[in-house]
Homo-oligomer: A and B are copies of this chain.
Amino acid sequence: MRRGIATVSLSGVLADKLDAIAAAGFDGIEIFDNDLIASPLSPAEVARRCADLGLSIDLFQPIRDIEGVDPRRFPDVLHRVRRKLEVMNELGATTFLACSNALPTAIDDPELSAEQLRTVGDLAASHGVTFAYEALAWGRHVNRVGQAWSLVERADHPTVTLAVDTFHMLARGDDGRALAGIPGERIGFLQVADAPVLDMNVLEWSRHFRCFPGQGMLDVSGVVAAVLDAGYDGPLSLEVFSDVVREADPHVTARDAMRSLLFLEDRLGARVTGPAREKVTVAPPLPARTDAAFVELADPDRTEYPALLTGLGFHIAGRHRSKPVVWWRNGGANVVLNEEPAPGPAATALGLVAPDVAAVAERAASLLWPAVDRTRGEGEAGLPGITSPSGLHVFVSAEAGQTDDWHNDFVSDDGAGTSPVDEGWLGLDHVDVTVAADDLNQELSFFRTLFGLRPEDPEEYIQPQGRLRIRALRAEKGDLRVALNVSDTGAAPQPHGVTQLAFATADVVDSVRHARARGVEFLRPPANYYADLDARFVLDPDLLVVLQDNGLLYDRNDDGGEFLHAYTLPVQGGFQVELLERRGGYTGYGSPNAHVRLAAAARAGSAVA
């Protein structure tokens, strides 16, 4: 596929944008007129610059509100079109796009609009270019793709074509089926954007929250597959406006954008049925399943983490063959402490069992996710590492017993010391990774595109100094669950990376009691919390006593599934361990308790400070 992007999707001035787009490997661009107008480069100079960079100018968007216009004002429209066509010819652009009229003065008269489109089509033809007409989701009278197509059909002019924009279609509730019967050669251009699902004014939604495919929740690939199956032969061109990209480095954005197109093509592999399938590049497959293997924490101090793990009943299970790295284990739970000096507070890693290891590594490379630089010692597993957008290192292991099993990196210590007590630890339930607000879309995209994790609905909690937003993801096949945290607390610096590990145990009351006996301190929910639990759930008084005596939090779902959990006091500037027990099919995370946990942590933090 030809891959394109609109200059409006990047920050910077036009010359910077062109450089960033070319560096990311795009084939072509859409020029947003305001970028050109504000540029000291003449159209001819822009054309030369693009040619030097290997970029074709696939689209120009110089004009709005060209149909449904009062006939007395239409000559001024044609004046504008003529002038802009001259600019286009200088640019060497081949298609220009205009959206449906969004002015309050737009006239609702399909015959008039079709005639005006035809007149514009004549002008375009006389300048040797094609015109593509798009239904803006907030167009005054034309705001659905079917309405735009009906006007294009009525205009019945060879250079008047339909422009398809995935956002405008999906935002209005249309999907690929709305394109049924439209011949591909009548589709003049395809613009691609994703977005989170938001219930708000569609213009504001479009301007501030669009994102690249794989970062949002719209069925972008469904629309694109329909366009390709119709026989459309042009570029897939990204048009994304958002508050995030406007402030980001254009080179980073361009690379993210390219990655999103590669991911889109990968998805299209399964959805395009016609001959266009040949043109779609498909990445190596997703792993068959994705399970948590271990979490690595930077532990140059060798004090707080070993004390905490020991208190929690972990024992040293092995030592790395070539590095100062210690493997700690408690039942099915594995933590690895790296005693090398940490490059930063977010120096954490996640080990996943995700076969086939080689295919995942290739998939990461083909989707442009960067590999972790590392050396592999004699006899060690081929444990490819990928760096997430937030800086987390993710290592991919084969299943136990295979050559590339992560355990092979360690010389076993199990049984060498005191015999570990089995306290029924089942393993890692989920891991919380804290990321900066502007990294959230990208981090989500990382886990979705590379491992096929499925995002759940965003959640948001009040914390004493701001808000905590959580976006959880879980593997479709396998046990991996990751909760991405964004802490909006103004200027205060936040720890990043793995900030919380949640371990499931078969009997959390027992686990917490043992840990407490070994000196581990847990957050203490206040008495008011237990009074509220009783008010909400009409709890068995014995259970309430057990919960309160052990400082456990509690939740119950409508089907009677229960969730009991507790949090250790923060160590190392904000790291916590959660111990939890799921009973009877509870699949959530105890969200109603988040505000209690956050207030208790804030109190603990200020008591420590």
- A interface list, Cβ under 8 A from B: 8, 11-13, 16, 33-34, 36-43, 62, 76, 79-80, 83-84, 87, 198-201, 204, 243, 246-248, 438, 462, 464-467, 488-490, 526-529, 531-532, 534-536, 538, 595-596, 598-600, 602-603
- Neighbour of A83 across the interface among B16, B42, B534, B595, CB < 8 A: B534
A87:B201 contact, CB within 8 angstroms: no
Contacts of A36 in B (CB 8 A): 528
27 A-B pairs (CB sep. < 8 Å): A11-B466, A12-B465, A13-B464, A13-B599, A13-B603, A34-B462, A34-B595, A36-B528, A37-B529, A37-B532, A38-B529, A38-B598, A39-B526, A39-B528, A40-B526, A40-B603, A41-B526, A42-B528, A79-B535, A79-B538, A80-B535, A80-B536, A243-B467, A246-B488, A247-B466, A247-B488, A247-B489
CA distance A87 to B532 in the complex (A): 10
From residue A198, how far is it (CB to closest CB) to chain B in Å?
8
Contacts of A538 in B (CB 8 A): 76, 79
Contacts of A248 in B (CB 8 A): 490
CA distance A603 to B531 in the complex (A): 62
B11:A464 contact, CB within 8 angstroms: yes
Q: A76-B538, A204-B200 are in contact. Are A490 and B247 (CB under 8 A)?
A: yes
Contacts of A8 in B (CB 8 A): 462
Closest to A466 in B: B247
From residue A188, how far is it (CB to closest CB) to chain B in Å?
22
- Neighbour of A247 across the interface among B33, B39, B465, CB < 8 A: B465
CA distance A8 to B37 in the complex (A): 48
Closest to A42 in B: B527
Closest to A202 in B: B199
Q: A84-B535, A247-B465, A465-B12 are in contact. Are A526 and B596 (CB under 8 A)?
A: no
CA distance A438 to B466 in the complex (A): 13
Closest to A596 in B: B38
B243:A39 contact, CB within 8 angstroms: no
From residue A437, how far is it (CB to closest CB) to chain B in Å?
11
CA distance A602 to B13 in the complex (A): 8
From residue A491, how far is it (CB to closest CB) to chain B in Å?
8
CA distance A488 to B84 in the complex (A): 31
Q: A38-B529, A38-B599, A528-B36 are in contact. Are A246 and B204 (CB under 8 A)?
A: no
CA distance A246 to B84 in the complex (A): 48
Contacts of A528 in B (CB 8 A): 36-39, 41-43, 87
From residue A476, how far is it (CB to closest CB) to chain B in Å?
27
A83:B535 contact, CB within 8 angstroms: yes
B199:A201 contact, CB within 8 angstroms: yes
CA distance A465 to B462 in the complex (A): 31
CA distance A464 to B34 in the complex (A): 11
Closest to A535 in B: B83
CA distance A531 to B36 in the complex (A): 11
A464:B12 contact, CB within 8 angstroms: yes
Closest to A597 in B: B38
